[in-house]
Amino acid sequence: MIPRVLVHPDDEALAGALRVKVDDKAKGKPMNDNDKDAFRQQVREWLEANCPPSLRTPTPEDEMVWGGSNVGFKTEDQRLWFERMRDKGWFCPDWPKEYGGGGLSRQEVAILEAEQRRLRCRPPQINLGIWMLGPVLLEYGSEEQKKRLLPPMTRGEVRWCQGFSEPNAGSDLANIRTTAKDAGDHFLVDGTKIWTSYGDKSDWMYALVRTDSQAPKHQGISLLVLDMHAPGVSVAPIHLISGKSTFCQVFFDGVEVPKENLIGPLNGGWSLAKKLLQHERSAMSKFGEFSLPTHFHLMPLIQEYLPQPHTPADTALHARATACAMEEAAYNLTVQRMGEEGQAGQDVSGLMAIMKLVHTEQERVKFEVLLDAMGYRALGWAGETFTDQEKAIDKAWLNSFTQTIAGGSSEVQLNVIAKRVLDLPDAPKGAKP
Amino acid sequence: MSLVYSEEHRMLADSARDFLTERSPVAAQRALRDQEDTLGFDPTTWREMIELGWSGIPFAEQYGGLEFGMKGMGAVFEELGRELSPSPMLSSVVLAGSLIGAAGSVDQRQDWLPLLIQGEKRLALAVDEGARHDPSRLSLTAKRESVGYRLSGDKVMVLDGHEADGWIVAARTDEGDDDVSLFLVPAGTSGVSTTRLWLVDSRNVANLHLDNVVLDASYLLGEPGRGKAALERALDHGRVCLAAEMQGICETLFATTLDYLRTRVQFDVRIGSFQALQHRAAWLHVELALARSTLMAALDAIDRGAQDAAAQVSLAKWKVGQMADRVGNEAVQLHGGIGVTDELNIGLYLKRLRVAQASLGDADYHLARYAELSQE
């Protein structure tokens, strides 16, 4: 499941960058088995004592806790779990203690994560800052930036959003036109960002901006962080065909951004963007682990809505549905195979490159079959006549269209497979289609 | 559960590939076709395959087998696919061998399995009667008589059925209309005749005619009217090996097609630079990857004796079949005019895929079977 909250723009070069393996150099002293067992025991006892039993279940989408200045809790347990993990430094267990992290080694983090999975602990909070910007700041930020930006993240005080896509920079992300002009001690930012998830609820944004309009388009881009409450920033939610969405368009009208908010080198933003998206990938996999997938099981629904005995039309529909279920089984087996091949040290980049494409395309076909089988029961938009599930299926069908577009459209995925996996030649420069 | 080949499986596949490219390359299959060889395979090469131990892979040591599982067999069948190499491996070893293993009495297993593994005897399985594979549609009957059974009827699409040393014939008896009885009919039995079929892939396939064939009860494989489960199991072993063969064929076809896209120049550019063709090639990569996962899952399910092994086999034969249609068709189309000439091997692969697709249940058959098995 590709979570909707973590949609990144569709650029092909960036989608390709996702294939680059995140550096997994072991950090910290290697632990022997006794150390590991002792640490595991310690972690297990702490989690069992501190994670409220009500939060040892999958997280429905409307019960996720988003860290930030206006963090909200539906239950007292959620608050307790949030505060306990925060005080332990385990929002960011592998970050250095000096910035508010837990200071754990990579091996210790692996044990902590395994124990959290074992107990089925919900994530105490979700925050793009920690998952995506944080690791890039740790690697490329100045000492001053780390001291200023990281500790509030580790306390869950700031909610971050991502400013990448623009109306004219979707699949061609490097085409961004939001400008940051040098105005002495600050940049003056003008332009707009689109498809910003939770732009209306976020405190800060990390954004790609154009700092050199003369340079080739990949070389005039910088990474800035900016305050969403600053004068000149306005946000408009986007309504999708499926109804309300978490997406927003963000407008910048002469926004003053202090120079110290430039991350990494001036005009060096493109390579940082690639790094960010690598972290997005690992974040997405964690997210998928924790969240309750909004998943509709096809065959039981088909049985429910197709009356017995089947007419010839029912039989044809049933065969289409079976084919969908079999394709889904093939996909799930491929996910599993990729994991096993990865563990065996084999190159899985060829499999990784198909995952997003296959899953999102399959989902769309699945909803089409489901809609056909359910007839008018799947067409209800509102009202008491339709069950919540029926209305949810309706919305999920419409939402399935966003999935084959966002995060690298299906066509971009195919380009990536053709060029990077199959090694097919590039089109000659200047060739007319 | 494991969806990857072990190091040992990979070594087996590597040595099989070396052997086949040397001793049984596609050119040899082309020659067999051009000579209208009635046996449809080269007995010398078959003997060498036996010496390499391939025929013992799935069987227990007590019969001279290697106990290397269906995954070992799958690894070999992928390689047989790559070189289109014909042999009685599927008919005599996988189908007949599995069936005797599953349905035969202790004595029958002792008598027959070593003979099949050592290649001393070659058996073929006779199930189909209609144009399309469907083991539930049996009408050939074995009438009980005072001393045994009298069999009359026709079987079609008997793989390697021509010049076999015997046939295992699935029939209905009075013991249970819904179930199956299996008869081991030796060559030379009065009333049995075969017609060698010439199919598009030139392999040995025959129709079998039984005209008042009288057999005593010792020719029954196992108990009368109790053969259905064993038959399904043996067929599943054959189906997954066919899927492996098709996967091997398609990976070869895809590699050949990619090479062509990378080198063929039209409009002054390599045609692989055209996005319209790139996307089609990328989809083939996707389909091959998905199909392989189902193949590995089916091999694994059989080796584990998993409860859902039959469903996994149907999933694999279906998915590999879907993929093979697409890869075969695209391989021809993307090669253009040269793709429809007999000079290229593409056509040989395409024809073999079509026969493998129809053998032991096509994609539609296995879709329906999967749906049925999933509801149980």
pLDDT in tens, B87-117: 999 999 999 999 999 999 999 999 999 999 9
The chain-wide mean pLDDT, for chain B, equals 96
Chain B residues whose CB is inside 8 A of the A12 CB are: none
Q: Among A27-31, A237-241, A258-262, where is mean pLDDT lowest? A: A27-31
Task: Report the chain A residue with the minimal C-alpha distance to residue B371.
Answer: A322
| Chain A touched by B199 (CB under 8 Å) | no
Name the percent of chain A lying above pLDDT 90: 68
> DSSP readout, B20-63?
HHHHS-HHHHHHHHHTT-SS-S-HHHHHHHHHTTGGGTTS-GGG
Of the residues B6, B278, B287, the best mutation for testing chain A's interface (the one with the most A CB atoms within 10 Å of its CB) is: B278
Give the number of other CB atoms < 10 A from CB of residue B243. 33
Window from A207-211, A427-431, B281-285 with minimum mean pLDDT: A427-431
Distance from CA of B182 to the nearest CA of A (A): 32
Of B4, B270, B272, the CB nearest to A344: B4
A160-191: per-residue pLDDT in tens?
Answer: 999 999 999 988 889 999 999 999 999 999 99
Q: Does the CB of A342 have a partner CB in chain B at under 8 Å?
A: no
Contact B214, B97 (CB under 8 A): no
Chain A residues closer than 8 Å to B290 by CB: 327, 330-331, 334, 354, 358
Closest-approach residue (CA) in chain A for B292: A334
Average pLDDT over residues A366-378: 95
| Cβ contact, residue pair A337, B278, below 8 Å | no
CB A358 within 8 A of CB A413: no
Q: What is the mean pLDDT of chain A?
A: 87
CB contact under 8 A, A424 and B286: no
Structure-block tokens of residue A30? 């290697």
Q: Please give the DSSP secondary-structure letter assigned to residue B2.
A: -
Judge whether residue B28 has pLDDT over 80: yes
Q: How confident is the model at residue A282 (pLDDT cuts 50, 70, 90)?
A: low
H-assigned helices in chain B: 7-23, 26-34, 43-51, 69-82, 98-103, 106-117, 228-263, 275-304, 309-335, 346-358, 363-375
For residue range A8-23, list pLDDT tens digits in order. Answer: 334 444 443 333 333 3
Per-residue pLDDT, A265: 96
Q: What is the pLDDT of residue A314?
A: 95
Per residue in A337-361, pLDDT (tens digit) is 998 998 888 999 999 999 999 999 9
Q: Residue B58 above 50 pLDDT?
A: yes
Chain B neighbors of A318, CB-CB under 8 A: 371
The confidence band for B290, taking pLDDT boundaries of 50, 70 and 90, is: very high
- A chain contacts of residue B255, beta-carbon cutoff 8 Å: none
Residue contact B278–A415, C-beta within 8 A: yes
- The confidence score (pLDDT) of residue A287 equals 52
> Rounded mean pLDDT of B54-79?
96
DSSP, collapsed to helix, strand or coil, labels residue B361 as coil
Torsion of CA A276, A281, A286, A292, to 10 degrees: 120
Residue A370: count other Cβ atoms within 10 Å of its Cβ.
21
The answer for residues whose C-beta is within 8 angstroms of residue A323's C-beta and 6 or more apart is B367
**Higher per-residue confidence, B290 vs A408:** B290
> Residue B173 contacts by C-beta under 8 Å, 6 or more apart in sequence?
B141, B142, B143, B144, B149, B181, B224, B225
The total number of residues written for chain B in this structure? 376
- For A109-174, the DSSP string reads HHHHHHHHHHHTPPPS-B-HIIIIIHHHHHHHS-HHHHHHHHHHHHTT---EEEE--BTTBSSSGG
Closest Cβ–Cβ partner in B279, B370, B371 for A418: B279
The percent of residues above 70 in pLDDT, for chain A, comes to 88
DSSP assignment of B109-161:
HHHHHHHHHTTSS-EEEE---SSS--TT----EEEE-SSEEEEEEEEEEEET-
Residues 6+ apart with CB under 8 A from A416: A12, A15, A16, A19, A353, A408
ipTM of the complex: 0.96
Phi, psi of B266 (to 5 degrees): -140, 150
Cβ count near A113 (within 10 Å) = 15
At A431 the pLDDT is: 54
B255–A contact, CB cutoff 8 A: no
Spell out which residues of chain B touch residue A329, defining contact as CB-CB under 8 Å: 294, 315
| Tens of pLDDT, residues A306-334 | 988 999 999 999 999 999 999 999 999 99
Taking the model in full, what pTM does it have? 0.88
CB contact at 8 A, B88 and B120: no
How far is A67 from A39, CA to CA, in rounded Å?
A: 28
CA pair distance A85, B277, nearest whole angstrom: 52
Q: Is A325 on the interface with B (CB under 8 A)?
A: yes
